[in-house]
Amino acid sequence: MKKIILLFSFLIGSFHSIAQTNLTKPEASQRCAIEQRIGLTDIKITYHSPLTQGRTIWGELVPYDQVWRAGANENTTISFSTNVKVEGKI
More confident residue, 49 or 70: 49
| Nearest CA-CA partner of 37 in 86, 81, 84, 83 | 81
- Global confidence as pTM: 0.53
pLDDT above 70 for 41: yes
10 Å Cβ neighbour count for 32? Answer: 13
Q: Which residue has the higher pLDDT, 78 or 47?
A: 78
Q: How far apart are CA 29 and CA 21, in angstroms?
A: 22
Instruction: Place 11 in a pLDDT band, splitting at 50, 70 and 90.
Output: low
The number of angstroms, rounded, from the C-alpha of 53 to the middle of its chain's C-alpha atoms is 16
From CA 48, how far away is CA 71, in angstroms rounded? 5
